[in-house]
Amino acid sequence: MATDQLAPSLPIREAAQAPAPATPKRSLTSRLPSLTGLRFPAALLVFAYHSALPIPSLRFLADNGAEFDYAKIAGQAGGLGVSFFFVLSGFVLTWSARKKDTARAFWRRRLVKIYPNYAIAWALAMVLFAASYTPVRTALANLFMLQVWVPDFNVNFSVDPPSWSLGAEAIFYAAFPLLHLVFQRIRPQNLKYWITGAVAGVVAAPALAYALLPSGPGIPGGELSSVSQYWFTYVLPPVRIFDFALGMLVAHAVRNGRWKNIGMIWSSVLLVAGYVLTNYVPYLYGQRAACIIPVVLLIAATAIADAEDRFTIFRNRAMTWLGEISFAFYLLHFVVLATTRKLLGTHMFSTPAGIALLVAEVGISILVAWALYVLVERPITKRFSKPRKRSELPTG
């Protein structure tokens, strides 16, 4: 999941001066509040996916048809939300990059922004439910963000399942300084070819997985793909980095006036159409490929709206606040879901009662996310994002 502050404060040492673009560059002064606000609906998609999983440790709805309908509707919501965050992360880091910065400073900021929340969510999950069935080796792999490198579904999504995406993001952040230098050297008129190549990489991943990897055993909960196919297409960082790189390239295109903006409304319409399409294509294509172009269009359109100071429904105070706590919400919502189910025992609920419980869980997740943001994320980020000056270091 992307967890980037949407402000001009992240970046890397400038590469060689790129050729002057044919059209003026867009201003980079905007803080992109609408993209901040848009983060929460994306996190809510991941919540919907997890709350709809038909497994005993999470489900609330009795087997009366509603549970099946909900699971079907939300079946690809998690994939859409994660893809959105990966593309957004690359876009924002590039958009907000400063000319004078070092890779070391960038990595420091990412570490203090990401890891404290991650470690607390890991600890809560272990204490509240995961310790009783998680092997020590798997727990440690999660703690050090290594779970994404094992082609095992039960390792990839162990302890706090949403946290797997941070293992991928860690690789993206490690690669960002080099990618940023390379992408800065691309002639603006050639960006469209690189963007096309990144989209092709996203589409090629499931094709390669279906063609080259074993078709079994299937992932838990169905035979939609094999474990190895799913891991390669959806989890493996070198494959998922195409999403991140795509966001970076689109940011360069927008910045250099090389982007055809269709607006937020049409981008949203295409995103809905893409999501409907996920029900009619092979499962792994639905996870990323079906929605990747609409996701890119929406992120770019939202950034342009902010850069041009136009109204959007996502830049009000409530939405930007929800966007600011969305990283904590993303990490903690599964803890809330699993703990609530554990406390309520095995009792199943009618559709109205189940909906009420889900709404309550969203509210609880928001409250605990707010607490984590206020007590941990914001103060630690503010305190440790910059190295201490020499005069502030202890002596003796």
In this predicted structure, what is the pLDDT of residue 223?
63
Q: Is 31 exposed, middle or buried (0-12, 13-18, 19+ CB in 10 A)?
A: middle
Task: Name the token pair of 31.
Answer: 């803080």
The lowest-confidence range among 81-90, 206-215, 218-227, 301-310 is 218-227
Average pLDDT over residues 156-161: 96
Among the listed residues 214, 137, 165, the one whose alpha carbon sits nearest the alpha carbon of residue 50: 165
Sequence-separated (6 or more) residues with CB below 8 Å from residue 169: 1, 2, 3, 86, 89, 114
pLDDT band at 185 (very low <50, low <70, confident <90, very high): very high
Q: Distance between CA 61 and CA 172 in Å, rounded?
A: 38
Helix (H, G, I), strand (E, B) or coil at 349: strand
168 and 148 Cβ atoms separated by less than 8 Å: yes
Task: Give the tens place of pLDDT for each residue, 275-307.
Answer: 999 999 999 999 999 999 999 999 999 999 999
224 and 209 Cβ atoms separated by less than 8 Å: no
Q: How many CB atoms lie within 10 A of CB 74?
A: 19
Q: What's the gap between Cα 47 and its chain centre?
A: 12
Q: Distance between CA 23 and CA 25 in Å, rounded?
A: 7
Q: Determine if the pTM surpasses 0.95.
A: no
pLDDT band at 391 (very low <50, low <70, confident <90, very high): very low
Return phi, psi of residue 323, to 5°.
-65, -35
